[in-house]
Each structure stands twice: as C-alpha cells, then as structure tokens.
C-alpha cells in the first residue's frame, strides 16, 4: 500500500501545468476531471495543503479567463472537491 507514496502529489503538479495551457479546452477539461477523481480518492495528507493551495490558485485563475462552459463547470466541481 505504501508503494505509491509521493506520486499523487507529483501527478497533481504535472497535471496542474495543463490547466494553465490555453491551447486546448478538451485537454483542460480532461485534466480537471482527472484531478477531481484523484483528489477524491487519496488522503489529504498525501496531497499536502500547500499543493492544494497552489491548485486552488491555478483553478481560480482558470475560472477568470475560461469561456468554455463545460470547462468552467468542471473547474467549479474541482473547487468543491478541494473544499474551497
């Protein structure tokens, strides 16, 4: 069970960079869906509050600029999963 320790955080960091990429709304939507599922299924201690804070900032910045409705909806859903 302890074999994956540290990897969820690295996944969150790498997927978060996709959220800032403005080239593909489909890619951002997939990243948001993946992050929601990942954060729901791992303990908060493994993610870390600092990492969740950064993800919160990236997601709120995305909401300020995003015009595609499904991406905005999924971003709001992720904020709910984070607990913001």
Question: How confident is the model over 10-63, as pLDDT tens digits?
Answer: 888 888 888 888 888 999 999 999 999 998 988 877 777 888 889 999 999 999
The residue that leads in pLDDT, 9 or 64, is 64
Q: What is the pLDDT of residue 44?
A: 78
Q: What is the pLDDT of residue 4?
A: 62
Distance CA 72, CA 78 (A): 10
Give the pLDDT score at 10.
Answer: 83
Task: Give, in order, the Cα–Cα distances in Å from 84 to each of 2, 3, 5, 15, 35.
Answer: 28, 30, 25, 19, 15
Where does the pLDDT of residue 64 fall: very low under 50, low under 70, confident under 90, or very high at 90 and above?
very high
């Amino acid at each position: 069970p302890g074999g994956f320790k540290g990897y969820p955080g690295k996944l969150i960091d790498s997927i978060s960079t996709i959220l800032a990429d403005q080239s593909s709304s489909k890619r951002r939507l997939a990243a948001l869906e993946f992050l929601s599922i990942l954060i729901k299924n791992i303990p908060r201690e493994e993610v870390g509050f600092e990492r969740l804070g950064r993800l919160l900032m990236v997601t709120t910045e995305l909401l300020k600029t995003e015009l595609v409705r499904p991406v905005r909806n999924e971003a709001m859903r992720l904020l709910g999963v984070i607990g913001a």
